[in-house]
């Protein structure tokens, strides 16, 4: 009987040790990457952004203005013959008028606010945001941001853009977008 009891104890001990070692959490040195959402944060609310374009307005020898435009899932860009001719839908939108050293794209770097109209590369004239906006009928809340810093990074055709600033009432706004941004020619 002692042999059965001893065999049972050894079997139980073996089973317990296999169970404990197999359930041990695998150690990993690499933490899970944090994925930032493309969004606007303003006055305690967050607005998803899922698309963007840039429009280049370059004129020879006078500087290159690039307008960055971003829309929420409810908005849609429409283009014909390489130009954006309309925006439809309802949602949130954000636009920046930037002066870039690249006449056909937005150059990587930091852009600082400048409202003097100097067309200086590395500056922007302002940011305009619309909330709950009917793009076809131009109805909704409009907010203008005067100040802050816009940062642009590029890796191939993928852009990573962030902004931090305030509106005229001192309300903070932050913006982040990562993704493709196609370019279009602007019509004066």
**Per-residue confidence (pLDDT) for residue 52, from 0 to 100:** 94
How do residues 107-157 score in pLDDT, each as one tens digit?
899 999 987 766 788 889 878 999 999 999 999 999 999 889 999 999 988
Residue 25 CA to residue 27 CA, distance in Å, equals: 6
Strands 149-155 and 172-180: unpaired
Assign residue 73 a region: left if phi > 0, alpha if psi is -120 to 50, beta otherwise?
Answer: alpha
Task: Express as a percent the part of the chain with pLDDT over 90.
Answer: 48
**Per-residue confidence (pLDDT) for residue 27, from 0 to 100:** 52
How do residues 11-62 score in pLDDT, each as one tens digit?
433 333 444 444 445 555 666 666 689 999 999 999 999 999 998 876 544 5
Residue 69 CA to residue 100 CA, distance in Å, equals: 15
């Amino acid at each position: 009987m002692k042999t059965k009891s001893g065999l049972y104890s050894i079997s139980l001990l073996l089973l317990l040790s296999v169970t404990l070692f197999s359930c041990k959490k695998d150690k990993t040195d690499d933490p899970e990457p944090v994925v930032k959402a493309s969004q606007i944060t303003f006055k305690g609310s967050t607005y998803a952004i899922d698309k963007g374009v840039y429009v280049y307005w370059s004129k020879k020898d006078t500087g290159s203005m690039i307008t960055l435009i971003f829309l929420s899932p409810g908005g849609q860009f429409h283009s014909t013959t390489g130009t954006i001719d309309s925006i439809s839908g309802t949602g949130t939108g954000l636009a920046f008028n930037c002066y870039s050293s690249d006449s056909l794209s937005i150059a990587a770097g930091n852009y600082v606010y400048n409202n003097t109209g100097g067309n200086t590369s590395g500056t922007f004239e302002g940011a305009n945001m619309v909330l709950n906006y009917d793009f076809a009928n131009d109805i909704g809340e409009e907010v203008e941001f005067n100040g802050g810093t816009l940062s642009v990074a590029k890796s191939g055709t993928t852009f990573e853009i962030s902004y931090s600033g305030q509106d005229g009432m001192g309300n903070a706004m932050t913006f982040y977008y990562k993704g493709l941004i196609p370019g279009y020619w602007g019509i004066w």
